[in-house]
A and B are shown apart, each in its own frame.
Chain A
Amino acid sequence: MDLNYGTEMEDFRQEVAQFLDENWPLKGEEKDWPFEKAAAVFRERAIERGYLYRSIPKQYGGSEQPPDVLKGQVIREEFGKRWAPLEARGIGTMMLVPTLLERGTEWQKEKFVRPTITGEITWCQGYSEPGSGSDLASLKTRGELIDGEWMINGQKIWTSGAHLADYMFCLVRTEPDAQKHAGISYLLIDMKQPGIDVRPLRMMTGSADFNEVFLNDVRTPEDWIVGKRGEGWLVSRTTLKYERNSIGAAQQTGASFAGLVKLAKETKIAGRPAIEDETIRERLAVLEGYVKAHQYSGYRQLTKDSKREDAGIINMMMKLFSTEIGHQTAKLSMDLIGDEGLLSAGGAELGQRSSSAQGWIGQYMYSLGIAIAGGTANIQRNVIAERGLGLPRDAAADRSSGK
């Protein structure tokens, strides 16, 4: 075990700080550039120095650095202090890019990775359908190859960000005669075309981040397929793995926990800071046990990944573990905000500024959305039990997969 604590990390921090002194905000005639343009230029420079997109190969626009969560942490801290732009987040960077890197063709990587990570293009994930959620492989949206083009018809639902996205990565049934899982292909689709109808759905938080997407004679070129025909299920497992890992990112739980401690310091119970209350302290301490376990499991996972070794069952647990911690964090925050728990989550889609309490209420609600999206908690438990612990497969799932 070697965590490079001490002088090496301090030197690195100095180096990052100096880079930022020189590069953010932009200087000279670049000083007055609009934020988006400035951010893009700054990101390019930060990539050159190896600070952003560290896991993405140089040839596709990343900085290709050996994995190191501590350095990653230092970078986030130093960038954060100066409000410097970090990696563009989003479903495209977090899920599609890793999938393309693992399974895409050369031209697909060339074409899509760079503009995705700079934020030039955005993506949505078209998996779920009205009749196919947990049982995703039962999906019905059809794709037919006609004259060198895929023609797609069907409906997707709960598609986050579809109203903003340029492209969709999508699961489509292209081999209707094949067995359930073997009949699916993974297609990339341009969202800006006539056959696509996006209708927003309002979430319980009040905002409308997800949508129904109707596809009527939607077209996409023959080679906009990732993996071969009928391999879409396999390819989607790659994406899902990244979705679960990204939702499971331990950094998030650590940051939320730090926010919670801050809230407990600022909130009063009977005239004294809540953090001095024995019950609150105990609950925070219990929760921190989980947060730390999550953090070091993340370190371990990353080390295993970097050595191309399998971290084992922990990979299947990270999503469930982090959503459970997220739930506990949000629950404690609700107890801290007290009467303000009567407020709404704030109208994010209306551009209203929410109070800090409303922010926590939003998080309380979102912690549920995250528990459902990307595979519900029960489905995660099935996966841990069946694939992780080797318990017998569910009889109904076996029947429906035609085995």
Chain B
Amino acid sequence: MNFDLTEEQQMLQETVGQLLANECPVTRLREVFDSDTGFDEALWKSMAELGILGLNVPEDFGGAGLETLDLAVVAETMGYHAAPGPFLGHALAIEAIVRGGSDAQKQKWLPALASGERVGAVSIADAEGGWASNQWKIESGESISGEQAFATGGHQADLYVVGLAGSRLGVVEAEASGVSRERVDGADLTRRLVALQFNQTPCELLADDPEVARRLHDVGCVLLAADAFGGSARLLEMSVEYAKTREQFGVKIGHFQALKHQLSSMALDVEPGRGLYWYAAYAQDHVKDESERIAAVAKAHITDRYMDVARNAVEAHGGIGFTWECDVQIWFKRAMFDRAFLGHPGEHRRRQAEMAGW
């Protein structure tokens, strides 16, 4: 038994971390955060050059052909740096096309997605609420009409994997006729959302197999959990750093036991999540009968912890923590996103209970 990342995975994580530290330090992150689009084209290009935009694309179609755990360790690093941009939806769109696309469809979309030339996104939140595939309502067909609430990718997305009635998935080009998109006033400005309207829009259906939608959903949960782990680890670091520098009553505030205990509780919220998200990611490709349930457990648990850590991090910074100027708010809002996107923890816990046969 070996429950650890491989050397390659550790290197991957390091390389991505270095790229983000160099090209998207907090000063740059803040600019993107406050920008109109929330998109950093140069950063996207660098990620493409590094090959991380096609990690889960098979080698035959120009990608790296790696597994969910590889994708997840990158997501952790993205979460740690609060990397702005459409990475999450892009990776999920790829996942759906890889699993549900015909050879022709794969040939058509995957190489351009892998190279980052085109930005992929997902639109799987029904306008009336519901992320689960059995809640999708838009009639599936070669032409679709209807509304969806929280599509990823902001105004950058070139194509959408869309959730349709009967747990079907289809691919819609952003430029196609009858597509209109409206900016959502989201909290997390590192990952912009739009609401989509389709009006007799051409749509290419993926395989008629509910497993594809399930996989998309589960891998999504795992990536959000990984992002949440990385983000909460960063917030802990920032809070500890602050406690070591800020002085009150003539000493560093880190001397006060109440604050120390608050910080160690945060650490206790963060660190045990690492193994959980690793296992959830590993299970997607290796432990079939557990994959769906453990993805739900990881998503519910780790994103919940992230939100708790984020609240504590604001508090640990005092007044400055409550300002727009303080970096903590950026991660706080990522926590809100990770917790709500694909359904809040309560929903996943209901599934968790059901799948256990409770």
Contacts and interface: CB of A to CB of B under 8 A. Distances in A.
A289 B268 contact: no
Contacts of A295: 275
Given A297-B275, A317-B267, A395-B255, A385 B260 contact: yes
B1 A297 contact: no
Contacts of A314: 271-272, 274
Contact of A289 (B263, B301, B346): B301
A378 interface: yes
Interface string A289-314: 11011111111101110010000011
A320 B268 CA distance: 9
A247 to B, nearest CB: 15
A97 interface: no
A163 interface: no
B240 A389 contact: yes
Contacts of B275: 293, 295-300
Interface stretch (A65-73, A130-138, A182-190): A65-73
A391 B352 contact: no
Given A292-B294, A317-B272, A391-B243, A3 B267 contact: no
Given A296-B276, A392-B254, A313 B271 contact: yes
B301 A292 contact: yes
A1 B5 contact: yes
Interface residues of A, number: 56
Contact of A275 (B5, B6, B261, B358): B358
Contact of B261 (A2, A276, A302, A385): A385
Contact of A1 (B273, B282, B349): B282
Contact of B260 (A3, A264, A276, A382): A382
Contacts of B272: 290, 293-294, 296-297, 314, 317, 321
A394 interface: yes
Contacts of A296: 3, 272, 274-276, 278-279
B3 A392 contact: no
B292 to A, nearest CB: 14
Contact of A302 (B3, B244, B257, B286): B3
B223 to A, nearest CB: 17
A285 B349 contact: yes
Contacts of A265: 358
Interface in B218-241: 236, 240
A392 B255 contact: yes
B353 interface: yes
Contact of B1 (A4, A285, A389, A392): A4
A391 B279 contact: no
Interface string A65-100: 001111100000000000000000000000000000
A300 B264 CA distance: 20
A221 interface: no
Interface string B342-353: 000010011011
B264 A281 contact: no
B264 A297 contact: no
Interface in A253-294: 261, 264-265, 275-276, 281-282, 284-286, 288-290, 292-294
Given A261-B358, A286-B349, A300 B268 contact: no
Chain B interface residue bracket vs A: 35 or more
A378 B257 CA distance: 10
Contact of A385 (B1, B264, B304, B346): B264
Nearest to B254: A391
A110 interface: no
A390 interface: yes
Contacts of B252: 392
A68 B271 contact: no
B260 A386 contact: yes
Given A293-B301, A317-B271, A304 B4 contact: yes
Contact of B358 (A264, A297, A395): A264
B27 interface: no
A4 B4 CA distance: 13
A292 B297 contact: yes
Contacts of B236: 389
Contacts of B243: 391
B287 interface: yes
A107 interface: no
Interface in A340-388: 378, 380-382, 384-386, 388
B248 to A, nearest CB: 13
A303 B254 CA distance: 33
Nearest to A300: B275
Interface in B286-314: 286-287, 294, 297-298, 300-302, 304
Contacts of B300: 285-286, 289
B260 A290 contact: no
A2 B2 CA distance: 5
Identify which of B3, B4, B301 gathers the most chain A CB atoms within 10 Å of its CB: B3
A386 B254 CA distance: 9
A216 B164 CA distance: 81
Contacts of B169: none
Given A2-B2, A5-B287, A281-B350, A394 B257 contact: yes
A389 B4 contact: no
Contacts of B294: 292
B278 A391 contact: no
A5 B278 CA distance: 15
Contacts of A1: 2-6, 69, 278, 282
A391 B271 contact: no
Contacts of B265: 381
Interface string A56-70: 000000000001111
A292 B300 CA distance: 12
A87 B240 CA distance: 42
A390 B244 contact: yes
A303 B300 CA distance: 26
B67 to A, nearest CB: 9
Contacts of B5: 1
A297 to B, nearest CB: 5
8 contacts: A1-B278, A281-B358, A285-B297, A285-B352, A286-B349, A313-B271, A385-B261, A391-B263
- 4 A-B pairs closest in CB distance: A289-B301, A296-B275, A285-B349, A385-B260
Interface of A: 1-5, 67-71, 261, 264-265, 275-276, 281-282, 284-286, 288-290, 292-300, 302-304, 307, 313-314, 317, 320-321, 324, 378, 380-382, 384-386, 388-392, 394-395
Given A69-B3, A286-B301, A385-B263, 14 more contacts: A3-B282, A70-B1, A261-B358, A282-B349, A285-B353, A288-B352, A289-B300, A289-B301, A290-B301, A300-B274, A304-B4, A381-B265, A392-B252, A394-B257
